């Protein structure tokens, strides 16, 4: 029997993926990565993005990179 899709679990998995990428690629500390992701979540909410949409996290990396100055 297939599992039901839980949008919140998918959201959290994608969020965790970005946190890991920020740590590994951008070399951010866990705390710093968490702050940037929280800032993105606020920005995305202001933009009216649906946090459960597949495209919610797509602009996050570029937005964080731009905001960090690089």
Q: What is the mean pLDDT of residues 27-38?
A: 98
Tokens matching residue 4: 């039901």
What CA–CA distance (Å, rounded) separates 42 from 38?
Answer: 6
- pTM of structure: 0.90
**Between residues 39 and 54, which one has the greater pLDDT?**
39
Q: What is the mean pLDDT of residues 10-32?
A: 97
pLDDT at 61 over 70: yes
SS (H, E, C) the chain: CCCCCCHHHHHHHHHHHHHHHHHHCCCCCHHHHHHHHHHHHHHHHHCCCCCCCCCCCCCHHHHHHHHHCC
């Amino acid at each position: 029997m297939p599992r039901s899709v839980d949008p919140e679990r998918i959201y959290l998995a994608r969020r965790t993926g970005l946190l890991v990428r920020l740590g590994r690629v951008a070399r951010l500390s866990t705390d710093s990565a968490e702050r940037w992701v929280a800032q993105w979540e606020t920005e995305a909410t202001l933009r009216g993005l649906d946090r459960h949409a597949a495209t919610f996290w797509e602009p996050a990396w570029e937005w964080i990179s731009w905001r960090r100055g690089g």
